[in-house]
Amino acid sequence: MTDHVIERLGHKGDGITGDGLRAALTLPGEVVSGAPENGRITDPRIVAPSPDRVRAPCAHFRSCGGCALQHASDDFVARWKAQVVETALAAQGIVAPFRPIHTSPPRTRRRATLAGRRTKKGALVGFHARRSDTIVPITECHVLHPDLLTLVPVLEEVTRLGASRNAVLGFALTRSDAGVDCAVTGGKPLDEALRLALPRFVPHFARLTWGDETVFTANPPAQRFGPAQVIPPPGAFLQATPDGEAALVAAVQEAVGEARHVADLFAGCGTFTLPLAQTAAVHAVEGAADLTEALDHATRHATGLKPITLETRDLFRRPLLPDELTRFDAVLLDPPRAGAEAQVAQIAEAGVPRIAYASCNPVTFARDAKALCEAGYRIDWVQVVDQFRWSPHVELAAQISRAHISAA
Ligand SMILES: C[S@@+](CC[C@H](N)C(=O)[O-])C[C@H]1O[C@@H](n2cnc3c(N)ncnc32)[C@H](O)[C@@H]1O
């Protein structure tokens, strides 16, 4: 066995040695021993631990693939997540001021996808193991809201009823004030027997969806965004924790500032649209029609808001053009991981004064920020928001302004 020194963490949270070997559950500066296999030290023994190493709070941490960083102190994780963004910006030649990270408390995740499989004895529900298809049963979880964790025995019963042999069911769970919204994928066809059996779960779910079909809606699983209530379609994108959502909404509101007319691009079902519409007219653009429809329904039932207009549009293929953008004082961008390259090019050309950018991918954020900086914008601040505690996932909000060009 050879000793190896861990130099840094990779983007999935694994330790990486100077010669590129990966070792899960290690930290920079640690000396580990183990036999490398296919570029990986599979079961590293910690010879010299990092001062940032802590005892993982969860009993499942070593096997469960849900978390990658429970062995690191909160301070380390906060510094590392900020560094991931700083490094991505530095690679594009950008230095920006950073605000302290906002991290969601444990046990507040309101959305998660669990896996379920039939076994000889009954059924197994949990997260996938690290780099494996095996399902790790979870008796405790320090990430999920307790309302989701307590559903595990119910989900096992659903698996026994609705999974074919060897199939893996996906349970996309979303907690709402009216109960848990559960969207099941990978199940048996919804035949007569299953249709008759599934309503027995009404006491446990606000809504149950099987593939594309809603089996029942016991209570509409509404989410409150600002002064309005939205009923998202099954499995819809929502921010992962209420606390992280509040931090992002506050950052975005600050970033758009006094703007009277805001374009909310990649609007989803209105997480930012509705709070922003308390002070500004908002034009919300989203690619998925079912999300726009949910937002439309909520907008019609909300009162006291400035005008909201909606558009379903593919912003990769048909970004808003400069002549459509000139009426806005601010644009909010909250794109998927691929970023907003095509849209950013149009914004840069239009010269919209203020941009609020929420991102779940520091690399595409930095690429888009570079295009804006080259067009005369500057990043005023970056706020890292950690809604995915103990995972390597990094999110952020930033305020970007067009620099004033003073006449010589
Ligand atoms: C990160 S989510 C943000 C949603 C919303 N802002 C929120 O916070 O709930 C990104 C959104 O972009 C939408 N989207 C993905 N590709 C798109 C495209 N090409 N054009 C327009 N919208 C797209 C997704 O449907 C999703 O709602």
Pocket of ligand 1 (CB under 6 A): 237-239, 266-268, 271-272, 286-288, 291, 314-316, 334-336, 360
Are 58 and 136 in contact, with CB atoms under 8 Å apart? no
Q: Using pLDDT thresholds of 50, 70 and 90, give the confidence band for residue 133.
A: confident
DSSP string over 206-244:
SEEEETTEEEEESS---EEETTEEE-PPTT----S-HHH
Q: Using pLDDT thresholds of 50, 70 and 90, give the confidence band for residue 408.
A: very low
In the chain, the percentage of residues whose pLDDT exceeds 90 is 95
Report which residue type is found at 44: P
CA angle 313, 318, 319 (to 5 degrees): 95
In this prediction, residue 404 carries a pLDDT of 62
Q: Where are the beta strands (DSSP E) in 177-326?
A: 179-185, 207-210, 213-217, 223-225, 228-230, 261-265, 281-286, 308-312
Q: Say what the pTM is.
A: 0.95
Average pLDDT over residues 288-295: 98
Active site residues: 360
In this prediction, residue 166 carries a pLDDT of 87
Query: Mean of the per-residue pLDDT values for the chain?
Result: 96
In this prediction, residue 406 carries a pLDDT of 46
Give the residue among 390, 286, 396 at the shortest CA–CA distance from 77: 390
Pocket test of ligand 1: the residue of 238, 266, 331, 365 to mutate, having most ligand atoms within 8 Å of its CB, is 266
Q: Using pLDDT thresholds of 50, 70 and 90, give the confidence band for residue 1.
A: confident
In the chain, the percentage of residues whose pLDDT exceeds 70 is 99
In this prediction, residue 213 carries a pLDDT of 96
Average pLDDT over residues 325-335: 98
pLDDT digits (tens, 9 = 90+) for 378-398: 999 999 999 999 999 999 999
pLDDT digits (tens, 9 = 90+) for 88-124: 999 999 999 999 999 999 999 999 999 999 999 899 9
C-alpha 333 to ligand 1 mean position (Å): 9
In this prediction, residue 407 carries a pLDDT of 44
Pocket test of ligand 1: the residue of 223, 237, 313, 395 to mutate, having most ligand atoms within 8 Å of its CB, is 237
Give the residue among 339, 376, 344, 387 at the shortest CA–CA distance from 361: 339
Give the residue among 80, 76, 83, 78 at the shortest CA–CA distance from 100: 78
Closest ligand 1 atom to residue 236 Cα is 27
pLDDT digits (tens, 9 = 90+) for 17-47: 999 999 999 999 999 999 899 999 988 999 9
Q: Which of 10-14, 141-145, 216-220 has the lowest mean pLDDT?
A: 10-14
